[in-house]
Amino acid sequence: MGILSVVKREALHTGVVALYLFFCFGIFATLKKLFLATYQIEFSALVPVVIGALALAKVVLVLDMTSVATRLDAENPIWVATLYKTLFYCGVTAPVLFAERAWHAYRETGVLGEAVLEAWTQTDRNVVLAKVIVVGLVFACYHLYRGIDHRLGQGVLRRMIFSRG
């Protein structure tokens, strides 16, 4: 298998996962925009949704290759693997969300220790919890679909969903 075919396969797989994440995060961003419009607050999240979907797609693909994820798929029923993988991925996502806030604070302050302290004290725990819940729901749907598709045979579920009966 040549390097070009590997790059194509990885780009396609990353693109499909990123498209799914973009769709899901786009729905939640639209709901947020609608809720904030009630209070006449303007909100635009296209760029964060795109960047978040692309970055998280690669994280998901890397986590999918870990021994934890592959072992859960092999040794458990689909629903158990979905539950544990979702919890595992959310456990990884929460620190990543905090690191994102710390990075933004670091860009403003230029001092890492001060940035981490500022990110920790200025973090709205309710917003973080809401983001983890949203990402958890997105992950749960992703893992459930992937688990069923893997057990049926790669691509069978997609063909079943998009076929005409």
Q: Can you give the pLDDT at residue 27?
A: 94
Q: Can you give the pLDDT at residue 151?
A: 92
Q: Which of 91, 90, 71 is nearest to 81 (CA)?
A: 71
| Dist. CA 53–CA 28, nearest whole Å | 12
Q: Can you give the pLDDT at residue 1?
A: 64
What string of DSSP letters covers 18-30? Answer: HHHHHHHHHHHHH
DSSP 8-class letter at 153: -
* Alpha-carbon distances of 72 from 60, 86, 138, 141, 150, rounded to whole Å: 15, 11, 18, 16, 13
CB 81 within 8 A of CB 64: no
CB 96 within 8 A of CB 67: no
> How many residues in the chain?
165
The token duo for 58 is 């690669």
Q: Which of 138, 147, 146, 136 is nearest to 87 (CA)?
A: 136
For each of the chain's 165 residues, which pLDDT tens digit applies?
688 888 888 888 889 999 999 999 999 999 999 999 999 898 888 888 998 898 889 889 889 888 988 899 889 999 999 999 999 998 888 887 788 788 888 988 899 899 899 888 988 888 878 888 999 999 999 999 999 999 999 889 989 998 886
* Alpha-carbon distances of 40 from 29, 36, 43, 92, rounded to whole Å: 16, 6, 10, 35
